[in-house]
Amino acid sequence: MPRFNTLKSEAAWRELITTDKDWKAADANMLRSLLVSMHLIRAFEEKVLELAGQGLVHGPAHSAIGQEGGAVGSVLPMRASDQVNGSHRAHHQFLAKTLHYVSPEGLDLAAPINEKTQWLLQKTLAEILGLDQGFCRGRGGSMHLRWAEAGVLGTNAIVGGGVPFAAGAAWAHRYAGTGDAAFTYFGDGAVNIGSVLETMNLAAAWKLPLCFFIENNRYAVSTVVDEATAEARLSARGQAFNIPSWKVDGMDPLAVYLATQEAMEVMRRGDGPTIIEVDVYRFYHQNGPMPGSAFGYRSKDEEKAWRERDPLDLVAAKMIELKLIDKDDVHSLRYQAQQAMEKAAAELLDMSGKKPAIHDHLWPSRDFVDALVRGDLSEFDGAHYVEQEQFNGKLEERKFIDAVAGVMNRRMEQDERIVVMGEDVHRLKGGTNGATRGLSERFPDRCLGTPISENAFVGLGGGLAMDGRYRPVVEFMYPDFMWVAADQVFNQIAKARHMFGGDGSMPLVLRTKIAMGSGYGSQHLMDPAGIFSTSPGWRIVAPSTPYDYVGLMNAALHCEDPVLVIEHIDLYNVKGLVPTDDLDYLIPLGKAKVLREGTAVTVLSYLNMVHQSLEVAERLGVDAEVIDLRSLDRDGLDWETIGASIMKTNNVLIVEQGSVGTSYGTLLGDEVQRRFFDYLDQPVQRVHGGEASPSISKVLERAACAGPEEIEDGLRRVLAEQGRSL
């Protein structure tokens, strides 16, 4: 018979229940702030539901009526410099944090509404209505609320999607040594999301001051928590990751407050993340002013039982019992909160017609629709740009991969904000290809080897960039891994600046390599340019020489937008000229380069295919003008250079290596024909790979990818259409 040992988790896991002694010992001013905050939030939410019922809220109205105790109880122990983010149901958390920010001395029960709180209520309501005076200028609405100054990183419509961003803020706090903490709020529906669990693991491994605050309101829309997981005590997740956890009654705000104080002690002394699970109940349906029972998934008896545990009533009753207030004070507070919301709504609504309507002049201008998808590059004013042909210093031949490592060493030496992270970047003498050589030895606290969890670490990078104190450089070992982290890459990082109304920047660099020809098969060898070029927000650079790599990486690290830097393994061992004593110059974003002049056809390409195009044109003696695009995003295409060439040659061949299905040339060819149709003697011709992704078989891999033979065929086609067959 085998012998068994009983194993125990090392993480503390406790349920906290308040007693009468706790209420008697509680600070009276804290209790007053608790009650006032909850009443202001309740009145706010009721007004939102009223307006939603009148059809004035465009989109969802996820109210948190019934859940105010969890938000306020957790916010009151925070500093102004602590940061929070949340999910789609976050009005209460946003208001709790911002009310505490505008009134750090506490909210006055006798005069709960002052100029600052009235301004805050109106501005938040304006955002939910989609108006220009809102915090995100109407772009965020109910689900995307951000006020960085007050410590609100931004709430999120993707379930669990904002959790990795909060880890980025927590890393910034830990590295800066401020003692501050970050809180990420999410519900029972998000607990089983991969990005949440990945982030729990990463935060614990790196001892980040991050509180995972779980609002267990029992229902993900209509799915009961017991249906979604075999362990409905959601704070049990902490046992798997060695995270100390608390389970409390969220309808008891004092219990939440006390648990948060304990969690704060853990995080502020540097002992890593915490979990607080609060049992709460949303009094209404997932969205809108109807109760859940109206949709059949909850009973009226259940709703009645929870309403009898209203956190506002509990705190008021305890304070009356302690003779801190009387019933008239409660009625007065309720009335003043409701009047404040009436006043806020009156400023936004036109009541002159049969039905209330929003004042026309309050809507954002239609011209604002695409503004601030990315920045205006004003950060480059006065930048030191030098093309290779104009460089006056000493140049020497170096391998491409040595230039990659060299410029990163130089930038991290010069800029203490830069943080490099990715799988194995700290080992193997510079990661899997040597791109980070020397960084872990010179900057061990800023060269971070990550777990295999792209969602968590690229999302952490996004939060780190949005925090503003650091500039993350994230490596995806292969570009196909972007699909694993697609939410963070495309829904979060790419959209953040625009979604939050242009508030803040996203200075993140994402490095990856195309590995076609390496035999790694279908899930490692894609070219990401076509996918990223369809995602508003990303800038894309694709250097084809070591000199250009240095200048474009310097530009990427100077940029306030997220920049994808694509490399190619075929170039890593290719030698090219690089300055011996100047790695600080920049190559402009959005500037293509003519590498070979000609009059018969314009060849547009990037990365290794630039060199192959040059070689084939030379071998065939074709009078081709070859342009290295270098910048590939929609905003970065150099139409001046491209257009001048097309007007001269009247023919275009786009050359890329990868699959037709994810082809970058699709976007490029369409734009060329729209802009220069009158100058073209024939449709834009293209060279690209097959439909299928590359296979392991050497023969099938070569057949799937474009190469010299396909480029030659493309040039012959273009010339044949001109009646100039080779």
- 92 in catalytic set: no
Closest CA to 362 of 42, 123, 702, 569: 123
Find the angle CA(289)-CA(293)-CA(297) to the nearest 5 degrees.
120
Instruction: Please enumerate in sequence order all residues whose Cβ is within 8 A of that of 430, keeping only pairs 6 or more positions apart, or say none.
Output: 405, 436, 437, 438, 439
Instruction: Please enumerate in sequence order all residues whose Cβ is within 8 A of that of 402, keeping only pairs 6 or more positions apart, or say none.
Output: 434, 546, 578
SS (H, E, C) 17-57: CCCHHHHHHCCHHHHHHHHHHHHHHHHHHHHHHHHHHCCCC
Q: What distance, in Å, lies between the first and last C-alpha atoms of the chain?
A: 82
Q: Are 651 and 681 in contact (CB under 8 A)?
A: yes
Q: Are 109 and 325 in contact (CB under 8 A)?
A: yes
Query: For residue 147, what is the DSSP state?
Result: B
Q: Indicate the SS3 state at residue 520.
A: coil
Tokens of 196: 């949440």
Q: Are 688 and 660 in contact (CB under 8 A)?
A: yes
User: Cα–Cα distance between 556 and 551 in angstroms, integer?
Assistant: 9
- DSSP assignment of 215-239 equals EE-SEETTEEHHHH-S---GGGHHH
Where are any strands of DSSP class E within 182-300? 182-187, 210-216, 219-220, 223-224, 245-249, 274-279
User: Catalytic one among 39, 88, 144, 524?
Assistant: 524
User: Cα–Cα distance between 131 and 90 in angstroms, integer?
Assistant: 18
Closest CA to 111 of 340, 342, 314: 340
Rg value, the chain, Cα: 29
Query: For residue 364, what is the DSSP state?
Result: P
Sheet holding 624-628, edge to edge: 593-596, 624-628, 601-605, 652-655, 685-687
User: Cα–Cα distance between 287 and 88 in angstroms, integer?
Assistant: 10
Tokens of 692: 């299928």
User: Cα–Cα distance between 154 and 84 in angstroms, integer?
Assistant: 8
Tokens of 281: 């109940």
> Strands 601-605, 652-655: parallel, antiparallel or unpaired by DSSP?
parallel
User: The tokens 């972007």 sit on which residue?
Assistant: 482
Tokens of 306: 């929870």
Find the angle CA(592)-CA(598)-CA(601) to the nearest 5 degrees.
85
**Burial classification of residue 442, based on how many CB atoms lie within 10 Å of its CB (0-12 exposed, 13-18 middle, 19 or more buried):** exposed
The letter for the amino acid at 625 is E
User: The tokens 């994230």 sit on which residue?
Assistant: 474
User: Cα–Cα distance between 271 and 268 in angstroms, integer?
Assistant: 8
| Residues found in the chain | 726
User: Cα–Cα distance between 464 and 168 in angstroms, integer?
Assistant: 4
SS (H, E, C) 431-500: CCCCCCCCHHHHCCCCEEECCCCHHHHHHHHHHHHHHCCCEEEEEECCHHHHHCCHHHHHHHHCCHHHHC
Active-site amino acid positions:
524
